[in-house]
Amino acid sequence: MNIRSKIVAALLASGLGLAGCASPAFVSPVSVTRFVAPQAAQLGSGTIAVVPAPGLGVEMEGAFAADFRTYADALGAALADQGYTVVPAADAAQVAELRFDTAVLDAAQRSPVNVGVGGSTGSYGSGVGVGVGINLGGRKPDSLDRSIGVVIRDKASTAVLWEGRASFSATDNSDYADNDAAAMRLAYALMEGFPGNDGETIEVE
């Protein structure tokens, strides 16, 4: 094996060992926007029910129904912390219409090690140049973009009292790849400082 081959083999061996290192997890702050109606005094007290937003459908089955229950339970807990009593829809004075979404951004797959070799021969001997590019992250994690939207209405009049949206991104190797953890983070961020300032967007860590 000549010197060039030995250098390339050694670098490949060390690079492949490094390529197994896990990519670091990423979690963004939660972006929250709220809109508050003039009847804000009605918010944060009395009875409320968490229901599917129009368009989600009443007959929810399977995984979608389970996901809705996860987000509804998280929102119900956050509303209770703000002074509401969460009850079934038939007994509620207000309703919180909930929608949720998760979008998956697939990460591109990259080769873990790239090696380039260049050699030259001159009057006083030979030189070997070796360039190595190593992707230390291995498989790049996918990004999960999660969001919820909530509209609180007076049930009797259907008047909108409050509306809010919350969203954040996290890689699938983070703690928030889990639906329960993500739902709780979104719900509590949305209710941070409830009802909030009309039209204001804040970031919650």
Domains parsed from the chain with CATH numbers: 22-108+138-204 (3.30.160.670)
Q: Among 154, 191, 189, 192, which residue's Cα sits nearest to residue 170? A: 189
Tokens of 83: 């002074």
Query: Would the pLDDT of 121 be above 50?
Result: no
Query: Would the pLDDT of 3 be above 50?
Result: no
Q: Which residues contact 94 (CB under 8 A, 6 or more apart)?
A: 42, 46, 47, 48, 49, 84, 152, 153, 154, 155, 161
Whole-model pTM: value is: 0.74
Per-residue confidence (pLDDT) for residue 119, from 0 to 100: 37
Per-residue confidence (pLDDT) for residue 18, from 0 to 100: 43
Query: Would the pLDDT of 2 be above 80?
Result: no
pLDDT in tens, 22-73: 689 999 999 999 999 998 899 999 999 999 999 875 556 677 788 999 999 9
Is the model more confident about 118 or about 197?
197
pLDDT in tens, 133-188: 444 555 688 999 999 999 999 999 999 999 999 999 999 999 999 999 999 999 99
The secondary element (H helix, E strand) that includes residue 15 is helix 3-18
Q: Among 161, 57, 63, 62, which residue's Cα sits nearest to residue 99? A: 57
Per-residue confidence (pLDDT) for residue 56, from 0 to 100: 75
Between 76-80, 84-88, 110-114, the lowest mean confidence (pLDDT) is in 110-114
